[in-house]
Structure 1
Amino acid sequence: MSMTIEKIKCIIEAALLAAGSTLSKDRMVELFAEDEKVKTADVTKALDILAEETEGRGVELVEVATGFRYQARQDYAEWIARLWEERPSRYSRALLETLSLIAYRQPTTRSDIEQVRGVGVSSSIVKTLLEREWIRVVGHRDVPGKPALYATTKYFLDYFGLKSLDELPSLAEIKDLDNLNPELKFDGEEGSEQSSDSSEQDDVNKSKNVLTEDDEENSGEAVEDSNNHSESPREINSTNHINESQDDSESGENASREQETETSKLESESAETTEGSSEGEEESESSLKPTELH
């Protein structure tokens, strides 16, 4: 039992809307039973009719790397974006530059990308691209260290609405990375890295000038501090000498006072000794007198 093209067209249209993802021609053929005798040529004809019917409408039927899908036309993206309150994903310039180099130079290594960009490639950038499945490891270069070789995937083509790498614009046509895809959003904070060597050199020169000014200020402060420190020991030494002299004078006075006290003690003791000897003589004389009388 054969099926008309009109019915095949309606079934494929419904399947594309219900799938929520791309469908390949082979997958569409599998939707029909064997007795329905639907071939790949029939599916192709139905797709061509559907594409013609979307002309002048808000949606379009497009073919990407993994198959066919309906999508809103880019002309109405401004209004469609208002359906979602959350902000769209924003990608740094460094990430997009890395992705572009992989797309145009694949397979390529991380060191090759760093050599072209003139700056290091952050591990978080490579991790993000791998997690989004925009790139994958396709092998390792036969050099010391065996660095990984990266290439783009079909999901990369799907995201940017491309059927194959041949549809990428040529490097001569790209004057600015912003024109690669108008849907891309650059993050001002994450995309602080500059792609041109001249802008990077300007930043380096500015930083050098700032460092030079800071060094001059710091050197001036260091000179003032050294002057202050050089005068401080003199003041401390003079203060110490004054304190030492005061301590010496006080210790001298204390010593003289102690000497006077000891002298007075000795005088009093000698006086008591003299009085005691005189009294002893008087007693001896008195004891002798009666004997003489007797």
Structure 2
Amino acid sequence: MGDSVSLDKLAETTGVEKDTLKAAIEELTEIYNNDDSRGITIIRLDESYQLCTKTDLYEYVRVMAEKRTRNSLSNAALEVLSIVAYNQPVTRSSIEYIRGVNSDGSLARLLEFGLVQEVGRLDAPGRPVLFGTTEEFLRCFALSDLTDLPKVEKTLSLDEMADRNQDQYAMDITGEGEEGKLYIHPTEDETEVPQFDEEEM
């Protein structure tokens, strides 16, 4: 699979204004999408673009392509990925505070797959690493940018959930306090970590 090309790189290479390039790309994309005889299209990944096979032809391409071993993500890794996606940039300790369990293995797996990357360091004692999602994350989940992430609907409040199951943990991934909560169960193969105040994070 090829790589995407940023709009800045296209402008630098061609000497064409970015607005003109963007309009041309959008026009070309529309032509590809409206012509069933064409098997390719252009996708946008943040401020980059990539030429790729249309999704309805994926199975044909897959059969012809060299068979590769497909690695899958565990539920724990998907939970960590969702935390990073909705809260980025986020530290390792914040991820574990939200989940209530050690997440080293899951985070390492996501880094290995190129779905998560280090994006900086928090201006706090110890300068902990901040994590965010990658362009590969957008590509894998067919997102143009992070605004395409599904909105999270309101679920049970923390008190309501505590009454129902004391072993559940809450994660605020909407930035709206009590308005949006996603509740995550620690998996059997993970170790719980002590809860602590946010001031200690």
TM-score range, shorter chain: 0.5 to 0.7
Gap change, CA 1:26 and 1:124, over 3 Å in 2 = same
Show the counterpart of 2:28.
50
Matches within 5 A, 1:1-294: 20-32=2-14, 38-55=16-33, 56=36, 57-82=38-63, 83-121=65-103, 123-131=104-112, 132=114, 134-140=116-122, 142=124, 146-172=127-153, 196-197=184-185
Q: Distance in 2 between matches of 1:130 and 1:199?
A: 20
Write the letter of the residue equivalent to 1:45.
A
SS of corresponding position for 1:31: helix
Between Structure 1 and Structure 2, which shows a larger proportion of strand residues?
Answer: 2
- Residues 29 and 43 in structure 1, CA contact (< 8 A), matched pair in contact too: yes
Larger of the two Rg values belongs to structure: 1
Q: Distance in 1 between matches of 2:105 and 2:99?
A: 16
Q: Deviations over 1:153-197 (max 9, x none)?
A: 344334433332111111229xxxxxxxxxxxxxxxxxxxxx843
SS of corresponding position for 1:30: helix
1:50 Cα shift?
1.1
1:71 Cα shift?
1.4
Q: Distance in 2 between matches of 1:52 and 1:149?
A: 38
Q: Distance in 2 between matches of 1:99 and 1:93?
A: 10
1:133 Cα shift?
6.0
SS of corresponding position for 1:21: coil
Identity of aligned residues (%): 30
Gap change, CA 1:140 and 1:117, over 3 Å in 2 = same
1:64 Cα shift?
0.8
**RMSD, aligned CA:** 3.1
- Residues 64 and 158 in structure 1, CA contact (< 8 A), matched pair in contact too: yes
Q: Distance in 2 between matches of 1:75 and 1:172?
A: 30
Gap change, CA 1:198 and 1:158, over 3 Å in 2 = closer
- Residues 66 and 154 in structure 1, CA contact (< 8 A), matched pair in contact too: no
TM-score by length of 1: 0.45
Write the letter of the residue equivalent to 1:103.
A
1:49 Cα shift?
2.4
- Residues 138 and 151 in structure 1, CA contact (< 8 A), matched pair in contact too: no
1:32 Cα shift?
3.4
1:199 Cα shift?
7.8
Q: Deviations over 1:217-238 (max 9, x none)?
A: xxxxxxxxxxxxxxxxxxxxxx
Q: Distance in 1 between matches of 2:98 and 2:91?
A: 11
5+ residue gaps, structure 2, are: 155-182, 189-201
- Residues 60 and 70 in structure 1, CA contact (< 8 A), matched pair in contact too: yes
Higher relative contact order (CA 8 A, sep 6+): 2
5+ residue gaps, structure 1, are: 1-18, 174-194, 201-294
